[in-house]
Structure 1
């Protein structure tokens, strides 16, 4: 886990010479913790969506009751809910204390342990986990090769890595127009934005996948560090469940994101 002193997101007013990209990532998502579950696609809003996530993950990895899972960048604990529903014993790691605090409040007395730390360098024990999983993390990685090697290290032989992510940069003309219409609806109805576009773009400009995270490129990186049997697929059934509970503005964003998201799994040789 990180040895750095806790960072109060509200205290970060300006960036000094020693304020790096990782610090900006921590500060940005710490500040977003309060409203993160309001962002479409993050909060699991119905039992039907929860079940759809469980089916999707179970289609990529055989999860036994009591399986040890390491959840990376666990945020407010939404995928944690899915893992617990599958019977996993969960270690969840996140860089941001405010995110962890919200997740802990959701999962008091559950079979989950939360850790403050860096998902790119987990500092967890070797060969300790049956499953390593993350959602919407990989696009933010600064050194993905190092991170993937660390995730391979902590998996048991035969264990599985599951990545849920997407290419949020390469947008079709249709997607751009749908997002603009969504933003217009938000402005007309007085819905405040839950994210800071300027800071988000500054972070994107500094990460490895600044030009977009594409599943085939990630698959190649996984093979290079030693993973085998990668599988890539769509988020089958998820968008439909999200659509059912979304506002009109959110529905336009979900339509704009069609084809961008993917699930990718790969195994550690056993």
Structure 2
């Protein structure tokens, strides 16, 4: 906790402030917004593979950000509610929904304490949220509470901390090529001054050592989830994203420990 903010300013407040600062340029980054029909179809295939057709079923998009996932769930036929803790993100999400004529509800709430009714949703979906959780055991119990019996949770996340030899090599080659002028410097979609804040937050969250799929799955089972499936087959999504990334960045992304996890609330 940063002392200059006073005793009432905690880690969750820091996370909220960090993502609010990232909001303006969030949709400029491949991997956040969808930049091609190929990627959209790949995401839709992943959603249908694990969650089936929407058919008007209520779905909760946690840490919905600018509503990229909310719109994909809406496309799949779900009745979507998006929760986010950043007013800035929510303002962008609501604007996007109005522009596209989408009937999606957005509310400000903490993904770790949703304040949603018991057994209200058939589906919960999250993307790149789990690595930020302060208390995943309590959080997963909260998600279990708001799911209907037989409801499903879909997590899309990754370990962005542990860097393997191949990924380190690719990043070193990229830095060398940039240094000698073979390639242009990457455009930073996150303000450079936030890099230190990102590391400060990361050092305090539960998965500070990296959110490995097996560890996340184990905690889901501990919370009572059943039929926990780890899916590493995200190649179609990554290939579509790669068309909008530099060669080195696309290669590094393909080497990362990224995954989807689907789990069910016992019926």
Instruction: Flag whether TM exceeds 0.5 (same fold).
Output: yes
* 1:93-172 map, 5 Å: 93-108=83-98, 109-172=101-164
Contact 1:139 1:209 in 2 (8 A): yes
Q: Which residue number in structure 1 is paired with residue 212 of structure 2? A: 214
Work out whether 1:261 is the aligned partner of 2:251: no
* 1:1-270 map, 5 Å: 15-108=5-98, 109-182=101-174, 189-195=184-190, 196-234=194-232, 235-248=234-247, 250-255=249-254, 258-270=255-267
> Distance in 2 between the 1:185 and 1:159 partners?
48
User: Gaps spanning 5+ residues in structure 2: where?
Assistant: none
Quick check: 119-128 or 194-203, which moved more?
A: 194-203
Contact 1:182 1:252 in 2 (8 A): no
How far 1:217 sits from its partner (Å)? 1.2
Contact 1:179 1:252 in 2 (8 A): no
> Distance in 2 between the 1:68 and 1:106 partners?
20
How far 1:245 sits from its partner (Å)? 2.7
Q: How many residues align?
A: 256
> Distance in 2 between the 1:161 and 1:231 partners?
10
> Distance in 2 between the 1:247 and 1:69 partners?
34
Secondary structure, counterpart of 1:245 in structure 2 = coil
Contact 1:232 1:263 in 2 (8 A): yes
Contact 2:170 2:248 in 1 (8 A): no
Contact 1:186 1:249 in 2 (8 A): no
> Distance in 2 between the 1:261 and 1:190 partners?
25
How far 1:25 sits from its partner (Å)? 0.4
- Provide TM-score, normalisation by structure 1: 0.89
> Distance in 2 between the 1:198 and 1:221 partners?
29
Quick check: 44-53 or 171-180, which moved more?
A: 171-180
